């Protein structure tokens, strides 16, 4: 008892003893350096280094097991005249543009629906996110099976609704394959848009819309002049992020069509895989992957500028 | 709040929402039905009169049995689980430290380092897989789980870092300053004061990282070659599709069972998951 009260009465003077490591860690920049070290090592080793290596590979004629010689920009020149590459570029642009429009429109619609009050709202929200959670390859196989020309449940449904009269070969018809792939991409992407935009909607005060309603604004006007402008910052971030993901998409097409039929669904990533891994032409494959980079860079820069502008406001 | 007649509520709300839910969930229902449908019913053309698409008359467990007995499915599940847990742990560790440093400490180039990490988050795997495969071979990591455990953090760390930065910024500085005045070192203040407060953020970052690892495909496809090393997605793709022959029943069973772990984790932590998306979008 007595000892305790003495210890408690003694004023606290010096910091506890500290070793040299602790002393270094007390210096703010050094502390930051050590905290960032593991991240820097991993990102350097498995992102920065492969990126440089990719640039170096792209200017050689390396094949699997063969180091290859420096050939300058020859791989890129070959790609310029490669009709399949041009198809892949066009497909990728079309794929990204069309699916983004649909994902945004449907996602926004779903977000507006989910923003209302109704019973089982939390449950609905949880279920609606499933396509985004379940591994893409696994859910894509379900779609491939649903698209099967002979056993297609989609054909059965459309036929019995009186929409189609003959069977549709969704993935085997060059004119339809890209559309089919886009449908699956939209299906997978809508939940992400919906939940993100719902998050944005919930930050908008409902009083604004109520005030406008009292002033006589119709629902469409309230959306156009109040909700949409306030939602725009979130929308920008979601769209730019999704554009990058879609532009570099691989899994969906790999499972559904493998780039076929007759390259009708060939994208940057599937063509790079086909050339780089399938055919073993590492240099050319790396060049195809790298050709994506300028487009992605533009999107990233736009995003960074936009975020900075929003932050300074 | 929906004004007007009852039919308006049906046309503008109930019907569209029901269609959305139906459309988004149908493929999963289709997976389930296919899993328990015997081959005799499975391979019945849609034009046939006795085609019963939405239910099955004689449910069977044959496809699941084939999947578990004749393929390495359980091995693939274990591989995927181990890889996802390890990659998530590494990413959370790095993301916690980096997120703390970037949101709390003052040091030269803090801003540009933050931007740099953000940019790496936007570098897709499909841009790097060819040179990375070469590097993995040089490090002698090819065809081992370590090829994935060490490369998955490259897209998980930036994500965790950015998500956690948001959480750290919301924690009042006074908490830490009090601990420092009481004699705690910087390290102690970080680990014992700041990290516990950020637990919801750590959880949502962890769930995200886990589901993203479970979902990854192209690295697993390119870096692994022997059947017993594969992850679920790659194993199913390569072993249940032989040339033009698809083992549809077992394939759907595999897709279903392979989705269960992520679906379970997600259903337990759905609120954190949604909060995570919300935070990452707003941040």
* pTM (2 d.p.): 0.90
What pLDDT digit, counting tens, does each position of B146-202 carry?
999 999 999 999 999 988 998 898 888 888 888 888 888 888 889 998 999 999 889
pLDDT value of residue B251: 93
Higher-scoring residue by pLDDT: B49, B132: B132
Residue A78: name the closest of A311, A276, A283 by CA: A283
Distance CA(B193)–CA(B209), nearest Å, equals: 24
Chain B residues closer than 8 Å to A141 by CB: 236, 251-252, 255
* Pairing assessment for the beta strands B245-246 and B241-242 based on DSSP bridges: antiparallel
Tell me which residues of chain B, numbers 45 to 64, contact chain A at a CB-CB cutoff of 8 Å: 45-47, 51, 53
pLDDT value of residue B281: 63
pLDDT for B224 beyond 90? yes
Which neighbouring-strand residues pair with B246? B241
Distance CA(A20)–CA(B178), nearest Å, equals: 24
pLDDT for A203 beyond 90? no
pLDDT for B33 beyond 60? yes
Tell me which residues of chain B, numbers 23 to 42, contact chain A at a CB-CB cutoff of 8 Å: 23-25, 27-28, 30-31, 34, 42
Residues in chain B: 283
| Residue among A31, A135, A153 whose CB faces B105 most closely | A31
pLDDT tier at B270 (50, 70, 90 boundaries)?
confident
pLDDT for A156 beyond 50? yes
Residues 6+ apart with CB under 8 A from B218: A250, A251, A269, A273, B125, B126, B129
| Residue among B44, B128, B134 whose CB faces A47 most closely | B128
∠ CA A90-A91-A92 to the nearest 5 degrees? 90
Backbone angles phi and psi of A165, in degrees to 5: -115, -25
pLDDT for B203 beyond 80? yes
pLDDT value of residue A269: 95
Chain B residues closer than 8 Å to A113 by CB: 13, 16-17, 20
Chain B residues closer than 8 Å to A135 by CB: 214-215, 217, 232-233, 258-259, 262
pLDDT tier at B260 (50, 70, 90 boundaries)?
very high
Residue B241 · residue B267 · CB < 8 Å: no
pLDDT value of residue A265: 95
CA distances from B280 to A142, A301, B2, B167, B204 (A): 30, 18, 31, 10, 11
Do residue B1 and residue A16 have CB atoms under 8 angstroms apart? no
CB atoms < 10 A from the CB of B127, how many? Answer: 25
Do residue A134 and residue B150 have CB atoms under 8 angstroms apart? no
Residue B256 · residue B35 · CB < 8 Å: yes
Average pLDDT, chain B: 89
Compute the nearest-CA separation of A1 from chain B (Å).
24
Give the lowest-confidence range in A143-152, A202-211, A248-257, A272-281. A202-211
Do residue A109 and residue B255 have CB atoms under 8 angstroms apart? no
Distance CA(A178)–CA(A260), nearest Å, equals: 9
Residue A199: name the closest of A240, A242, A229, A238 by CA: A238
Joined tokens for residue A246:
């879609």
Average pLDDT, chain A: 88
Q: What's CA B252's distance to the chain center, in Å? A: 19
Compute the nearest-CA separation of B81 from chain A (Å).
13
Residue B248 · residue A132 · CB < 8 Å: no
Residues 6+ apart with CB under 8 A from B131: A50, A51, A53, A54, A57, A286
Distance CA(A303)–CA(B122), nearest Å, equals: 10
Compute the nearest-CA separation of B58 from chain A (Å).
18
């Amino acid at each position: 008892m007595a000892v305790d009260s003495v210890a408690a009465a003694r004023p606290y003077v010096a910091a506890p003893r500290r070793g040299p490591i602790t002393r270094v860690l007390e210096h703010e920049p050094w502390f930051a350096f050590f905290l960032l070290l593991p991240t820097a090592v991993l990102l350097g080793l498995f992102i920065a280094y492969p990126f440089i290596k990719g640039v170096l590979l792209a200017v050689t004629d390396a094949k699997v097991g063969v180091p290859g010689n420096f050939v300058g920009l020859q791989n890129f020149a070959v790609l310029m005249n490669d009709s399949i590459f041009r198809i892949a570029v066009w497909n990728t642009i079309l794929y990204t543009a069309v699916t983004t429009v649909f994902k945004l429109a449907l996602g926004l619609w779903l977000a507006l629906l989910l923003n209302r009050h109704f019973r089982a709202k939390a449950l609905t929200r949880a279920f609606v996110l499933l396509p985004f959670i379940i591994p893409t390859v696994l859910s894509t196989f379900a779609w491939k099976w649903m698209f099967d020309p002979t056993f297609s449940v989609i054909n059965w449904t459309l036929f019995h609704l009186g929409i189609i009269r003959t069977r549709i070969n969704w993935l085997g018809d060059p004119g339809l394959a890209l559309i089919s792939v886009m449908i699956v991409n939209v299906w997978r992407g809508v939940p992400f848009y919906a939940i993100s935009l719902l998050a944005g909607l919930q930050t908008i005060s409902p009083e604004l819309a109520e005030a406008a309603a009292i002033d006589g604004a119709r629902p469409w006007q309230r959306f156009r002049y109040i909700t949409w402008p306030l939602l725009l910052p979130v929308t920008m971030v979601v769209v730019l992020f999704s554009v990058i993901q879609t532009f570099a998409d691989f899994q969906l097409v790999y499972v559904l069509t493998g780039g076929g039929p007759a390259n009708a669904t060939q994208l940057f990533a599937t063509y790079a895989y086909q050339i780089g891994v399938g055919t073993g032409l590492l240099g050319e494959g790396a060049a195809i992957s790298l050709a994506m980079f300028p487009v992605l860079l533009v999107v990233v820069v736009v995003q960074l500028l936009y975020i900075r502008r929003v932050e300074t406001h | 709040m929906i004004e007007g007649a009852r039919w308006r509520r049906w046309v503008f709300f109930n019907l569209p929402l029901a269609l959305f839910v139906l459309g988004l969930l149908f493929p999963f229902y289709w997976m389930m039905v296919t899993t328990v449908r015997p081959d005799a019913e499975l391979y019945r053309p849609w034009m046939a009169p006795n085609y019963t698409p939405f239910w099955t008359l004689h449910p069977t467990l044959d496809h699941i049995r084939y999947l578990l007995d004749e393929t390495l499915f359980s091995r693939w599940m274990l591989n995927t689980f181990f890889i996802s847990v390890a990659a998530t742990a590494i990413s959370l560790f790095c993301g916690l430290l980096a997120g703390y440093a970037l949101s709390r400490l003052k040091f030269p180039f803090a801003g540009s380092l933050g931007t740099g990490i953000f940019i790496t988050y936007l570098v897709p795997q499909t841009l790097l897989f060819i040179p990375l495969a070469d590097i993995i071979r040089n490090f002698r990591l090819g065809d081992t789980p370590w090829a994935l455990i060490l490369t998955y953090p490259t897209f998980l760390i930036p994500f965790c870092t950015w998500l956690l930065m948001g959480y750290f910024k919301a924690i009042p500085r006074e908490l830490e300053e009090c601990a420092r005045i009481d004699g705690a070192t910087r390290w102690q203040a970080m680990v014992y004061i700041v990290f516990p407060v950020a637990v919801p953020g750590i959880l949502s970052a962890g769930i995200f990282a886990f589901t993203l690892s479970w979902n990854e495909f192209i690295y697993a496809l390119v870096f692994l070659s022997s059947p017993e090393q594969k992850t679920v997605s790659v194993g199913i793709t390569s072993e249940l599709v032989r040339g033009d022959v698809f083992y549809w029943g077992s394939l759907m069973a595999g897709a279903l069972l392979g989705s269960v772990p992520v679906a379970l984790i997600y259903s337990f932590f759905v609120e954190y998951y949604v909060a995570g998306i919300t935070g990452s979008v707003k941040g």
